Amino acid sequence: MDFGLSPDQLRSGLIFFFVLLVSLVLRAWAQAAMAHRLGDDTPELNNRLTLNPASHIDLFGSVIFPLICIFAFPGTILFGWAKPVPINPTQFEPHRRRGEILTALAGPVSSFGLALLGAVGGGLLCRVDARVAELAGTMITLNVTLAVFNLLPLPPLDGGQILRHVVGMSEETFLALSRWSMLILLGALWLPPVRYALTLVINIFVFPFAVMFQALAG
């Protein structure tokens, strides 16, 4: 563990943390907004239909743990999360299945949207100030990583929610798997083959955004 950070490392770490925080808040808001649009007022009643970071940030998952990963263990696997968005699936009736799937997809879609913003907006702004490249690159890589990770078909991730409806998984089975799947996944990610495979998938999805950024940046 090395806390002797150079000014460049400190700047890069703070940029990464800022982008992560914004991305987590927008991701949570997107899911709340989708649920509300589909007829569920639970997020609104719980003050989640807002872009105010205070309503979405989990002190440990959004601040403390990411900062530890960024500055104490740079280069290792980084995790961060916002408060779960509460929904009442019965309010999606008579299209409960569609409502749950669309709400789950809203998170990854928002992440890909931010990656697109980083590629297009960052590429254009780079023509004015080349220093924007670091911010844009962070937006692209981090949000693609968030999207790909959350689309893994494991409960309670968004991909697990979608898988649950595809295979007809019961609520009881989904909750039982949710208790252990994340611990198993965290353990598996320390295995080089698993980490390599996930990194490869992330890089495949990053590639078109990077190409778009380079083309616009000139």
Give yes or no for a contact between 98 and 92, defined as CB atoms under 8 angstroms apart.
Answer: yes
Smallest Cα–Cα separation from 88: which of 100, 76, 79? Answer: 100
Q: pLDDT at position 116, please?
A: 98
The whole-number pLDDT of residue 3 equals: 57
Q: How far apart are CA 176 and CA 207, in angstroms?
A: 36
pLDDT in tens, 93-104: 999 999 999 999
Domains of the chain, residue spans = 7-217
pLDDT at 71: 87
pLDDT the model gives residue 73: 76
Read off the DSSP letter of residue 90: G
Spans in the chain with pLDDT lower than 70:
1-4, 75-77
For residue 76, the model assigns a pLDDT of 67
Contact 107, 52 (CB under 8 A): no
Residue type, 55: S
Left if phi > 0, otherwise alpha if psi is -120 to 50, otherwise beta: which for 47? Answer: left
